[in-house]
């Protein structure tokens, strides 16, 4: 066969999350240390496709990315049509832990971007012993809102188009056009109200200001990586957050915005590989 | 005697925008009148069925528009750099930092946001 096949495989797993059954889609590639990947609000696991095709990563890590319920190829739970989707901190943590339990991954490393970066901080706070390393990309304890989320879901504005158009400014100008537009396409494909529902966690329920005392980076190392062009989670937001967590290791990434792994994978790997090297070395030493 | 009067920066930016965006068109059912202001210098952009059909720098009395985007000359100069610096690269980055104002009826703007963003970026310098 001469066709170019990527090493990524996809499957479904059934999870029980807060008493509701969810059919969750995930993709994986590679072998070794499990690395669970969390996508941004209103998007899906395709954001990690480049990471899953990078041999420098997959030769040492089993990279696993799942679509949160309501996102990508994961349906909402049964009965969704009578509810309004609002992601809460508790639901988000339960989903991540249920996924890790279902796949029986042993103390995975975990990387999350944007809302995934915020929940990394909550995991560091409450569940550090369950992870061997936590990597928050575009992560902070809080960010100042810069638009009214009611525009994301209303009858006279196309939800997919407005979501993509809003976040288009969060992509760095240096990012290759092909990956910029792939990243935006994910937003165009989101379900109605899903991006807005994710932002309930981001803006309302998941404010971690003043709640990050006691994070043990000696138990679980915490790495924070933020792009200089991210005006939603700004470098200053991440630096402020890191300053409140002894041992947190922070890097501001040049020529990257809010979606580093998706918008410019080549530029991002220059920052991520040293982190993964450190994770691998620490795992080998234990 | 030949007296040369320099155009103020805002007027120069407005002229540049008129030149860059005058033929802007997208296949889109979008009709609106937008005011873009470069410091004190306005440009009223008339969009019909996705095409820019008129750009006015001299506004008539009682001129109306659906929404407006206003920023200082400096903000537009930074926004239009071939590779803008972080924080100057998007209208919402500028809005968040207080460098740009968005006014009026926002529905036609938000329903056609990428169109408007692309239109406003036509004045951007080309990479050398």
Q: Does A173 touch chain B (CB under 8 A)?
A: yes
Distance CA A128, CA A283 (A): 15
- How many A/B residue pairs have CB atoms within 8 Å? 51
Judge whether B93 is closer than 8 Å to chain A, CB to CB: yes
Q: What is the ipTM of this complex?
A: 0.95
CB-nearest partner of A169 from B83, B93, B110: B93
Residue of B nearest to A149 (CA): B110
DSSP-derived 3-state class of residue A33 = strand
From B93, B95, B110, residue closest to A151, measured CB to CB: B110
- What residue has token string 């279902």? A102
Residues 6+ apart with CB under 8 A from B93: A169, A231, B86, B87
Kindly give the confidence (pLDDT) of every residue in chain A, 286 residues in length, as a single tens digit, with 9 standing for 90 and above.
689 999 999 999 999 998 999 999 999 999 999 999 999 999 999 999 999 999 999 999 999 999 999 999 999 999 999 999 999 999 999 999 999 999 999 899 999 999 999 999 999 999 999 999 999 999 999 999 999 999 999 999 999 999 999 999 999 999 999 999 999 999 999 999 999 999 999 999 989 999 999 999 999 999 999 999 999 999 999 999 999 999 999 999 999 999 999 999 999 999 999 999 999 999 998 7
Q: How far is CA A130 from CA A111, A133, A253, B15, in A?
A: 14, 9, 28, 60
Q: Could you tell me what percent of chain B has a pLDDT over 90?
A: 91
Question: In this complex, which of B86, B107, B110 lies closest to A229 when CB atoms are compared?
Answer: B86
User: Is the pLDDT assigned to residue B128 strictly greater than 80?
Assistant: no
- The Cα of B96 is separated from the nearest Cα of chain A by a number of Å equal to 6
- Rounded Cα distance, B86 and B79, in Å: 10
Taking the Cβ of residue A85 and every Cβ of chain B, the question of whether any pair is shorter than 8 Å is answered with no
Q: Does B48 touch chain A (CB under 8 A)?
A: no
Residue of B nearest to A146 (CA): B96
Q: Is A195 on the interface with B (CB under 8 A)?
A: no
- CB contacts, 8 Å: B87 with chain A: 231
Q: Is the pTM of this model over 0.90?
A: yes
Residue with tokens 């951007």: B124
Contacts with A162 from chain B: Cβ below 8 Å: 110-111, 113
d(CA B127, CA B114): 22
**Measuring CA to CA, which residue among A273, A20, A27, A256 is closest to residue A138?**
A256
Chain A residues within an 8 Å CB radius of B110: 151, 157, 162
Residue B83 sits at the chain A interface (C-beta within 8 Å): yes
Query: How many degrees, rounded to 5, is the angle at CA B8 between CA B7 and CA B9?
Result: 115
Chain A residue at shortest CA distance from B93: A231
Please tell me which of the candidates A156, A168, A228 has its beta carbon nearest to residue B114.
Answer: A168
**Shortest distance, CA A161 to any CA of chain B (angstroms):** 8
Would an 8 Å CB–CB cutoff place B78 in contact with chain A?
Answer: no
| B-chain residues near A158 (CB < 8 A) | 111
| Interchain CB contact of A283 with B (< 8 Å) | no
Q: Mean pLDDT for chain B?
A: 95
Separation CA A256–CA A267 (nearest Å): 7
């Amino acid at each position: 066969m001469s066709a170019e096949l990527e090493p990524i495989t996809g499957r479904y797993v059934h999870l029980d999350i807060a008493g509701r059954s969810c059919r969750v889609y995930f993709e994986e590639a590679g072998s070794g240390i499990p690395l669970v990947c969390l996508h941004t609000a209103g998007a899906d696991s395709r954001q990690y496709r480049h990471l899953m095709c990078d041999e420098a990563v997959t030769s040492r890590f089993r990279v696993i990315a799942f679509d949160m319920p309501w996102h990508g190829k994961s349906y909402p739970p049964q009965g969704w049509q009578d509810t309004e989707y609002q992601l809460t901190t508790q639901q988000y943590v339960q989903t991540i832990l249920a996924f890790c339990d279902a796949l029986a991954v042993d103390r995975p490393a975990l990387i999350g971007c944007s809302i995934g970066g915020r929940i990394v901080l909550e995991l560091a706070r409450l569940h550090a012993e369950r992870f061997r390393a936590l990597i928050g990309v575009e992560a902070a304890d809080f960010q100042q809102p810069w638009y009214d989320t009611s525009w994301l879901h209303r009858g006279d504005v196309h939800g997919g188009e407005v979501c993509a158009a809003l976040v288009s400014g969060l992509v760095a100008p240096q990012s290759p056009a092909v990956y910029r537009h792939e990243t935006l396409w994910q937003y165009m494909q989101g379900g109605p109200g899903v991006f807005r529902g994710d932002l309930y966690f981001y803006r309302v329920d998941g404010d971690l200001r003043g709640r990050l005392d006691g994070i043990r980076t000696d138990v679980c190392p915490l790495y924070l990586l933020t792009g200089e062009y991210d005006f939603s989670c700004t470098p200053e937001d991440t630096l402020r957050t890191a300053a409140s967590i002894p041992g947190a290791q922070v890097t501001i990434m040049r020529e990257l915005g809010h979606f580093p792994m998706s918008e410019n994978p080549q530029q991002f790997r220059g920052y991520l590989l040293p982190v993964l090297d450190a994770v691998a070395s620490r795992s080998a030493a234990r | 005697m030949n007296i040369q009067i320099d155009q103020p920066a805002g007027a120069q930016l407005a002229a540049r925008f008129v030149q860059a965006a005058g033929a802007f068109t997208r296949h889109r059912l979008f009709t609106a009148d937008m005011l873009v202001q470069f410091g004190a210098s306005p440009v009223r952009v008339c969009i019909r069925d996705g095409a820019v059909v008129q750009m006015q720098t001299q506004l008539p009395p009682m001129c109306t528009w659906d929404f407006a985007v206003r920023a200082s000359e400096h903000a537009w100069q930074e926004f239009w750099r071939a590779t803008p610096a972080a924080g100057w690269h998007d209208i919402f980055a500028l809005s968040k930092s207080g460098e740009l104002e968005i006014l009026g009826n926002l529905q036609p703007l938000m329903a056609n946001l990428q169109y408007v963003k692309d239109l406003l970026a036509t004045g951007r310098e080309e990479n050398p």
